[in-house]
């Protein structure tokens, strides 16, 4: 079974999630754009 948890509970996955978003949705915006989204989701 898959358990869905907040990313803030597992900050060591930030870089991987950033890369997934960047590659899947829009490489034209730049990785920094998606890194800022992921960083903002780290607030609990």
Assign 3-class secondary structure to 7-29.
HHHCHHHHHHHHHHHHHHHCCCC
Radius of gyration of the chain from its Cα atoms, rounded to whole angstroms: 11
pTM for the whole structure: 0.79
User: Is residue 42 a contact partner of residue 5, using CB atoms and an 8 Å limit?
Assistant: no
Q: Note down pLDDT in tens along the chain; length 44 residues.
A: 999 999 999 999 999 999 999 999 977 888 999 999 999 988 76
Q: How far is CA 33 from CA 3, 4, 15, 18, 36, in A?
A: 27, 24, 13, 9, 5
């Amino acid at each position: 079974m898959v358990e869905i948890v907040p990313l803030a509970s597992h900050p060591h996955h930030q870089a991987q999630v950033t890369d997934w978003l960047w590659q899947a949705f829009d490489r034209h915006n730049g990785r920094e754009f998606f890194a800022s989204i992921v960083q903002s989701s780290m607030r609990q």
